[in-house]
A and B are shown apart, each in its own frame.
Chain A
Amino acid sequence: MPLWEHYHRPSTVDQAIDNLAHYAGRARILAGGTDLLLEMQQGRTSPVAAVVDITQIQEIRAIEEADGYILIGAGVTHTAITHSALLTQKATSLVESCGVIGGPQVRNVATLGGNVAHALPAGDGTLSLVALAAEAEVAGPQGRAWRPIDSLYVGPGKSALNHTAEMITRFRLKPHAAGEGSAFKRIMRPQGVALPILGLGVWVNVVDGLIAATRIALGPAGPRPLRAAQAEAFLAGKAFSTELLPAVAEQVLADAKLRTSPHRATAEYRTELILPLLARALPLAVRRATTGHVTPEGIGEG
C-alpha cells in the first residue's frame, strides 16, 4: 500500500487548511518530509490518504524583521536559517542549532516548522526556540493564533497541534538587543540513533556586568523541552564567572528529569554532561552578549 494516495501542493495557507479539512483526519502536512516520510515508511506513523505539501506557500518561507520581532516562516529550511545574516546576529543559538541538524541534503529541505511539529523534546531547532522564548502562529479552521512554543508540546513526539487540521505558519521572537546573546551546544554519540544525547540552548541579557535575565532550555530532560527555571533564577542579578558553573549545573539538575535511553545514553552520563554543556554554552552566550561579536560555532559539523 502506498504511504499516501493523494499529493497536494497548495500555494496559500488557506488552501492547505482546506486540503486538510477535505480529508477529515486522513491527511497530513508535509514539509521537508525528513521526519514524516521516514516515520510512515518505518511503520511508526500510519499511511494517510493525502499529504499536503506546504513548501510552495511563499508566505511561510520568509525570514524578516518587523514590529520589533523576527518572523521566521515555518517552511524555512535549516539551510536558509543557517545562511541568514539577520538570524546569525540576532538569534544566534537558532542558527547554531539548525546548523547541526542532519547533513546538508537534509538541511536543504527540512524545516523549522517540521522540527517543532515533530515535537521531540530534543529537537535541536526547538530547544533554541524555547531559549529564545519564541511563539508559533498556528492556523486552523478557526483562523490563526500565536501560541508560546512550550505550549505546543504534550509529550515526547506528541505535539499539541492537531496534525490533521492545523499548521504552523510562522515563528516570532525578539531579536537580540544590546547586551543580549545566545548559544546552542549539544553532545552526540558517533554510534546508533542520530538523536542528541543532550542539547542546550541559552539566552542571556547582561546589564552593567550583571546577568539581568537568562533562559536555559535543555532536552531531552523530560517529556517536553525543559526550561531550567531554578538555574535561571539562581543566575539573575549575579556577575557571571565560570566559577558559578558547578552551582548552575546543580540548579539545572534540580529541574531536569534525566532518563536512560537504551543504546543512546544512561541517566548517569546525561547528569555528568550538564556541567560541560553549560561550560560550552553559557560563557559563550555571555561573551556574545557583552561584546556583541558573534561567530556561530559548529555549523555543518553536527
Chain B
Amino acid sequence: MAITSIKNLKEFSTNNDRFEGAHLLCPGCAHSMIVRELMNCTDDNLVIASNTGCLEVSTAVYPYTSWDTSWIHIGFENAATAASCAEAMYKARKKKGTLPDADAPVKFVAFGGDGSTYDIGFQWLSGAMERGHDFTYICLDNENYANTGGQRSSATPVGAHTSTAQAGSHSYGKKQKKKDMVAIMAAHGAPYVAQLAPNKWKSMAKGFQKALETEGPCFINTVSACTTEWKFDPKDTIHITDLATDSLMFPVYEIIDGHELNILYRPKNIIKVEDYLGSQGRYRHLFKPQNKHIIERIQKDIDEKWALLQRREEARI
C-alpha cells in the first residue's frame, strides 16, 4: 500500500493535490488546509462524504466540483452515515466479486463541521462508530455554525460571542462549556481518536495516516480557525492556530483503544489564554472589567484539563 512520506515538508510537497482551487471558502479558511493535508497524506483512492456546512457548499457549487476523488454530498446529519454505508456497500460488493477494481486500495472518510458533529449529526455519528465501520470521521471544528451566520454549537467555548449567544450588557457570550467530543468518541471504543491542529502539520499528517491505516471507526477533531466568525485577519490563520495550541486551548493528543493517551505536542512556552482570546474579535468583550473573571475561569479550565491529560498519559487510563 502506498502511503506518502511525511519525513519533511519538502518530501510531503511532492504529492499531487487532489483538492482543487476556485472553491468558495473564505480567503484564509483553515477547512481547506485540513482537507488538503488529509488528501495529501495518502495515495490510496478516497471515498469522501461531506455533509452540509461551509466545506460542502463551497466545494460543490453547481456546475463545479473541487474534488478529484469520489465525493458524496449528503444532508446535514449524515456525513458518517454516507461514508460508513459506502464502506459497507464496498465490502459487500467485494465479497460478491462485483467490484470493477477490487484490488485498488481505498479509504473512506467523512468530513463534518462541529455543528453537525457535536449537535445535529451526533446520533448518526454515534451509530456509525458503534456499528464499527472501517472509516475515518474528521470534524472541522470552527466552534460555530459558520455557514449559516455563526450560531453557537456545543463546540463553542465559554465566553465566545456568537449570533445566538451574543455578548452585551447582560451577557458575556456563551455560558456553557465546550463538549468533550474526543472523550465521547474514545468511550465508543474507537481504536483511534485524536485532536489535531493544522499548524502542527506533521503530527496532523501522522495522525491522519494512523487513522486511515487503523481498521475500524476512527475519529479526529481538528481545530479549524474561522477568519469570518472568529474575527481575525485572513493572513493570521496559522498564527491564531499557534496561539490555540500554545495556550493549550486546543491540546494536541491521541487516544488509542480508548485508554492509551499520548500528548502529541508539548509547547515549550505555554502562553496565557489571554493572548489567544485577545487575538480574536469574538472574545473582545471578555477584556471589559466586568468579564475578567470569565478569562480566569477559562484559564482554570485549561489548566485542569492539561493536568488531567498528563495524568492520563502517565497512567495509561
Decide whether A and B are members of one complex: no
Q: Which residues of A contact B (CB under 8 A)?
A: none
Residues of B at the A interface (CB closer than 8 Å) are none
